[in-house]
Amino acid sequence: MTTFRSVNPAHPDDVVGEFPAHGPGDVDEAVARAAAAQQAWARRPVPARADVIAAAATVLAGAKARLTDLVAREAGKILVEAGGDVQEAVDMAAFVAGQGRTAWGETIPSELGDKLCWTTRQPVGVVGLITPWNFPVAIPAWKVFPALLAGNGVVIKPSEHAPACAEAFVAACVEAGVPADLLQVVHGYAEPAAALATHAGVGAVSFTGSVPTGRQVAARAMETGPRLVSLELGGKNAMVVRPDADLDLATDGAVFGAFGTAGQRCTSTSRLIVHPDVAGDLVERIAKRVAGLRLGDPRDPATDVGPVITATSAERIGGLVAGAVGEGATAVTGGDPVSVDGCGGAFFAPTVLTGVRPDHHVARLEVFGPVLAVIEVADLDEAIGVVNAVEYGLSAAVYTRDIGAALAAVDRIDTGIVYVNAPTIGAEIPLPFGGTKHTGNGFREAGTRGIEQFSQLKTVYVDYSGRLQKAQIDTHPLEEDR
């Protein structure tokens, strides 16, 4: 079988592991094993499934130090971010386990006497999960645990850039008591992902990644459906800073939001839409902070910004920055790939671009790198219009001391998540995560709604009257008909 290597993005000569490049036949086998195991799993009471998921939280917490180091090594996230990645998986397991002992549906009063009505949830069978490299433990957890609680079997195809993290996560789940056949992993590139998305034995597909790839996944999945398809496809997230904002707080938010994880989060702050009266001061503050950021090995606790995932990514980011400069923008800081002593990986200097207009390519396309585009806008209505004038709708932030302006922005910004006086990154487990427009297709991950993409609603009626009762017949006849 053909294999591929996963390497440390900071040190590409450090091979994390070698993995099989699976094909459609391997996907067939994985789906068959998961389907066979799913039948017994679905017969377990929901609280019993929840107990296994709770045990997974304990196993993951016990392995946190080891998994954190692996995330830093394979995904290039600095240690504090890698630890947060693992902690999200721990928290998600604990939250989902709690859902195993909460309401599973709703009861509705019947319009007829001696009749009960309620809803419940049913598993879809086997779900296919296609996950990215930038949250290599957290995002699998966001998908796997709700899918398991719903009673499904799971086949996960992780990014080719983070297969070791996925294997370690699955091993922790199996150690906790998840049946080994129930949770399958297939590795490789586009071929196994396409096979999984279109497999006749897969009842739901959940994909996190780019808009172009997500559209292909959805189209292929629905051609061979019916099946549930949930998409989380990135963002072009904006921070609006009004003239009355706390600029120290806004600086903290912009630096963390734009350059955390080297800008490689779907929620990274990509646009700074700032009032002209404070733009110069705020940019100066951000540039000063950026100058003090230390690029380096993500496993070194002193590192602030790690590598971008591949040299190809660095070239793509550089091309977008060069294009912005060609359109009239100015790189106040950064603007180019950089070399880091002791590291052979691809690093890109944290970049702040001024003079950006809303119609510039860099203001409309997802950069997925450490680049912040500054757009000066005075009027709040116009600023909100700039926020909304892109195809993405994941997250946005507004910094102001004016509660009226803040709430007006919250109401009118077209994104799935809005922050006030906080950066565009930082989702919390109990709340739904996802976006509008081309960012998503209506489903949400996390929170109590996370299970919806992996289960089907069933409506139940029980008539104990002992006679025929006709629902949806006119039970309120007109007076002249009586």
Q: How many CA atoms lie within 13 A of 435 on its CB side?
A: 30
What pTM did the predictor assign? Answer: 0.94
Average pLDDT across the chain, whole number: 95
The whole-angstrom separation of Cα 128 and Cα 139 is 13
**Would you state the pLDDT for residue 224?**
82
Residue range 475-480: mean pLDDT, rounded: 63
Q: Decide if pLDDT at 471 tops 80.
A: no
- For domain 3-233+440-461, the question of CATH label 2.40.50.100 is answered with no
CA 14 to chain centroid, in Å, comes to 28
* pLDDT score for 481: 53
E strands present in 242-328: 269-274
What's the one-letter identity of residue 159?
A: S
Weakest-pLDDT range from 42-46, 155-159, 231-235, 321-325:
231-235
User: Which residues have C-beta within 8 Å of that of residue 301, sequence separation ≥ 6?
Assistant: 79
Q: Is 379 left (phi over 0), alpha (psi -120 to 50) or beta?
A: beta
Residue 480 — very low, low, confident or very high, per pLDDT cuts 50/70/90?
low
What residues are labeled active site?
A: 232, 266
Whether residue 70 has pLDDT greater than 70: yes
pLDDT of 206 over the 60 cut = yes
Q: 3-state class of 425 per DSSP?
A: coil
Provide the CATH number for the domain formed by 237-420 in this structure: 3.40.309.10
Q: Residues 49-71: what's their mean pLDDT?
A: 98
Return the pLDDT at 345.
96
- Nearest in space to 293 (alpha carbons), one of 325, 329, 340, 356: 340
Task: Find, among 228, 86, 210, the residue nearest to 147 by Cα.
Answer: 228
Q: What is the pLDDT of residue 218?
A: 86
- Residue 223: pLDDT band with limits 50, 70, 90: confident
Residues counted in the chain: 482
> In this predicted structure, what is the pLDDT of residue 475?
64
Instruction: Give the domain ranges of the chain.
Output: 3-233+440-461, 237-420
Distances (CA, A) of 371 to 283, 308, 377: 13, 12, 19
Asked whether the CA dihedral 368, 370, 373, 379 is positive or negative, the reply is positive
Weakest-pLDDT range from 78-92, 269-283, 344-358, 428-442: 428-442
**Residue 26 pLDDT grade (very low, low, confident, very high; cuts 50, 70, 90):** very high
pLDDT in tens, 286-297: 999 999 999 999
Whether residue 474 is predicted with pLDDT greater than 70 in this model: the reply is no
Proportion of the chain above pLDDT 90, given as a percent: 90
- Residue tagged 């565009």 (tokens): 424
Q: What confidence score (pLDDT) does residue 222 get?
A: 85
Percent of the chain surpassing pLDDT 70? 98
The 8-class DSSP code of residue 293 comes to: P
pLDDT value, residue 477: 63
The three-class DSSP label of residue 348 is strand
Which phi and psi angles does 205 have, rounded to 5°? -125, 130
